[in-house]
Structure formats: structure tokens, C-alpha cells
Structure 1
Amino acid sequence: MEEEIIYYDKSEYIETDSGNKISRKSVISVPQNIVLGGKTIIQQNCIIRGDLRRKGSGYAVVIGIGKYCLLGEDSIIRPPYKIYKGVFSYYPMKISDYVHIGQRTIVEAARIGQYVIIGNDCVIGRFSVIKEYCRILDNTVIPPNTVIPSFSVYGGNPGRFISELPESSQIIFEQKAKQYYDRFIAKIEEDDKKTSN
């Protein structure tokens, strides 16, 4: 069964040379501190806080996001922070390839491995690490500094191990990410159709 095409208003999204599709209604603070790997979709009202970085640090990239990622509507992506030797500091965040982050989810992880699906309404605590091939169910709260092992399904509040994923997860997650990107298509207006005929 083929999944439906998701149409978006072309005027509401910016498409970059590397295929990223970024909603004009998203908030990307200090974009020069954010790197997108390509073919990533950033939906409306998503907030990415590239402005939060350690003062005087050598970190050029505050948030790195891989290819074929989806940052859902109303999600918030901000780097983790802590007080070290009396100084309040932010630290870089790395989101790898093929990561889907659901709607209204808040992420303050240190690292998210590739092939990870995070559901809607989740909170991913500061400095947590989600390894490769994981699924975080809707409404899950992952406490700060949690390390989630590969091939795990986590759910609940606080998040706990629910089950294990099969080794074929990589292929399935990659296909889903690519298919979602391919199905996310700009709506062609009637005027555009007439001029192309």
C-alpha cells in the first residue's frame, strides 16, 4: 500500500541547493552555527537554537543535522547546557542521518545516532545519547544523561526499555526517511500548470 503524497505550499518553504526544505514559519537562530547535511525537512514552527553557544568557545557548529532528517512541527532543538566550574556553558549537539523527530518534541541531547525515530510530544533530556537504530515512542520523557543502546525501543515517563528492534531496522528506517522526503512535494498552483503547458 502506497503512502499518500504530502503537499506543501511552495511559497511557505525554502529549498536549498542540497535539497533541504525549510519552512519560512520555522525559527532558526544564527543559521551560520547550524549545519544541515541535505534533504532534511524542517517543518513550520520548529525552533532550532543555533544562538546558544559557549562564549569564546572554538565551536563553529553548535548543531549538526545529517541528511534525510525530519524536524516536525512545533519541535524545539537546542544544545545541552551545564554549569562547569561556576560557568554556565552550552555544548554542541549532533543529529546523524535518517533521524525523524516528531511534532512538539523538545530535544537537548548531546548526540542522536543515525536511523532513529522519535515520536510526538517527547522530551529528550540534556546530554542524553541515543545510539543508532532506536525508536522513542510518543509522549516519552528521556531523563538527562541517559544513554539509549542501539536497537532499543523506549517509552514512558521516565523513558524505559520496552523492547528490542530487529537488525533489519536500518533498511526500514532508511526507506521510510527517503520515502517521506520523496512524498513531501510542493503543490503546483493552477497558474504554474497553465504556464508549463
Structure 2
Amino acid sequence: MSRPAAVSRRSTKTEYIETDTGNKISRRSHIEGKQNIMLGGKSVIMAGVCLRGDLSRKTEKTAEGEKETSQTAISVGRASVIATNCTIRPPMRISRGHMIFYPMRIGDNVFIGPNSHISSLTISSHVHIGANSVLSPFCVVKEQCKILPDTVIPPHMIIPPGSVVAGRPAQIVGEVGEGWGQGGGGEGEEWVEGGDLRPLVRSIK
């Protein structure tokens, strides 16, 4: 994972700020706690997205007097796309009267559809999440899954690899099938669900 990256000068008048690792971040997104968010490179954060990096677990002060520091709250892999008006916030539970936040991990080539609310513990690589979906705290989505639009995944539910999921609450309704998401990702090739999202990232200006 890369460190929070500097902004490239060439994008000063565009919709997106482009970092030196190729991430594209909309000027109309809302990012809290930037120091606690890690983007792997060539990922896109669209307009209206709310990333709550400020909701991070803090290490306790030690006997030696070290300062309290925050851990990475949200980690996003390479070539992932978070579409418009999504909210991404780490999962939380209350322990001994205190709110404790847990790091969220999003893999490579993950597409999160518009107006979704994500509070998962982990979303593995090559996952496609349809619009208006809700992924409740501490749910886990394994690799190469397809979440259909308007799905609500309950807390702590684990979605096996290669599953198609739908419903409110979510149920596994099928499998994506052999070869789902395969594509060369070559120049001029259209992006496909579950495949390499770099063509989609390149098309966003």
C-alpha cells in the first residue's frame, strides 16, 4: 500500500485530483482522517463519496510515555472504484462503554455501486457491489463475488468466494460461474464486472 500521496499539478482544473500513484479523487468527495486512509494506486473516489478515516482505532499510551497514535482505518487496493454518494466507514462495536473501530480492508478491482453504505470488515478482490447496497458491520465478502443492487448484507455474515448475493436480508442466490470477470484489460477493452477495472479507471476524467 502506498502512503497518502501528493497531488499532481496537471489535474488542478479537472473534476478529479490525481495523485502520484494514479488515484483519482473527486473534488466533491468528503474525506475525513486522510492520514488514516491508504489507497493502493489507480483507484477512483467519485463525487459525494464519504470516507470516514477519522473513525480509527487508537493505540493506548505506553508506560514509556509514547504518544497515542491512530492505525489505518480504511485500506483500498489497486484499481478499485467507489461510485457516487457512497459512505465508507469502518465497523464499530462497544466494549466496556467505549466505541472501538476496526480497520476496513478493500481489495483490488472492487467496484462499489452508487449510493451504497459499506461498513464491512473485509471485501476481497474482484468483487462487484450493485447500487444502493448496504454491507453491515463486520460482514466479510470473499473474492469474485457479485452483490446485486439493493442488497442488504447482515452484520457478521460471510459471503463465500464466487457467490451471487441478493435480498434484504441477503441470501446466496447463485454462483458467478467459471470465467466470470475474465478479461485481458488491454488498451481499449471495456471493463467487466469482477474483472480488471483499470480500463474503467483510465476512462474517468
TM over 0.5: yes
Choose which of 38, 42, 46 in structure 2 pairs with 1:43: 46
Superposed counterparts of 1:1-197, under 5 Å = 11-56=14-59, 60-172=71-183, 173-175=194-196, 177-184=197-204, 186=205
* Shift of residue 55, structure 1, vs aligned partner: 3.8
State the distance in 2 between where 1:113 and 1:55 align.
Answer: 25
Q: RMSD between aligned alpha carbons?
A: 1.6
Q: Which has the higher contact order (CA 8 A, sep 6+)?
A: 1
Which amino acid in structure 2 is aligned with residue 93 of structure 1? M
Tell me, yes or no, if the aligned pair for 2:165 and 2:173 is still in contact at 8 Å: yes
Shift of 1:115: 0.3
Q: Answer yes or no: is the 8 Å Cα contact 1:59–1:92 preserved in 2.
A: no
Structure 1: gaps (5+ residues): 1-8, 187-197
Select between 79-88 and 113-122 the one with higher mean Cα deviation: 79-88
How far does residue 104 in structure 1 lie from its aligned partner after superposition?
0.3
- Equivalenced residues, count: 176
Deviating beyond 4 angstroms after TM superposition, the runs of 4 or more aligned structure 1 residues are: none
* Structure 2: tracts of 5 or more residues without a match: 1-11, 61-68, 184-193
Q: Secondary structure at the match of 1:54?
A: coil
Q: Secondary structure of 2:71's match?
A: coil
What's the TM-score once normalised by structure 2's chain length? 0.81
2:180 counterpart letter in structure 1: S
Higher helix content, 1 or 2: 1
CA distance in 2, matches of 1:178, 1:92: 25
